[in-house]
Amino acid sequence: MEILYEDNHLIAVNKTNSDIVQVDKTGDESLEDKIKYYIKNKYQKPGNVFLGVTHRIDRPVSGAVVFARTSKALTRMNELFVQKEVKKIYWAIVKEKPPQISDTLKHYISRNQQKNISTAHDKEVKDSKLASLTYTLLASADNYHLLEIDLHTGRHHQIRCQLSKIGCPIKGDLKYGFPRSNPDGGISLHSRKIEFSHPVTKEKIIIVAKPPKDSLWDYFLNLIE
């Protein structure tokens, strides 16, 4: 488990695309449980360890996730998310080049709970919610393209279904139209950077997560760094 940031109030880790943030119906060990175990052992804490989930990313997605180590930090981080004072940047690898170098996408997203899938609509439909993001083309390889996504809203599977809507499904994402799965079972969507004011100290925090070790991710990193 890669720790990206840690103090008395917060801890951030680089989630793999096999980890689940919280326990679900699979019963697999969660990232939340792994971090509690890490804290308990590192600081020799007796009894239960407090850990608050401030936000989630889908299981097949990798990258930065922030947890709260105190109830005060959790309450204040929740407020930051509600007030849209947390900036989240994602990277995505897609097969098709998007229609523009950079664009803001606005759709209305509806969710099918039973199938655990969302649909992006051009116009408002029943039970849909407005979703917005801005993508920018960062680099291109022979067969794939790297996009940076500035997420404005946090809808279910938002990036996945909005990119699919414009004909750019994410590499490995069978659910949203990519023809083949990735060897590791994940998808090529990565929570690259999270920025916010620390909920207690108020200092500016910037957390950056390296993409998974993979030849294509490595190729794009070498191109842009």
Q: Any idea what the CATH number is for the domain that residue 159 is in?
A: 3.30.2350.10
Q: So what's the pLDDT on residue 28? A: 81
Q: So what's the pLDDT on residue 76? A: 97
What is the torsional sign of CA 196, 200, 204, 207? Answer: negative
Q: Residue 47: is its pLDDT beyond 90?
A: no
User: Whose CA is closest to 60, among 136, 137, 159, 140?
Assistant: 159
Residue type at 6?
E
Q: Which of the two residues, 184 and 91, has the higher pLDDT score? A: 91
Q: The domain containing residue 152 runs over which residues?
A: 2-224
What global pTM score does this model have?
A: 0.94
User: Whose CA is closest to 217, among 184, 179, 169?
Assistant: 184
> 108-167, pLDDT tens digit by residue?
999 999 999 999 999 999 999 999 999 999 999 999 999 999 999 999 999 999 999 999
User: Whose CA is closest to 77, among 5, 20, 10, 152?
Assistant: 10
What is the count of structural domains for the chain? 1
Q: So what's the pLDDT on residue 69? A: 97
Q: Compute and round to an integer the Cα radius of gyration of the chain.
A: 18
Phi-psi region of 81 (alpha: psi -120 to 50; beta: other; left: phi over 0): alpha
Say which residue the tokens 């590791």 belong to: 184
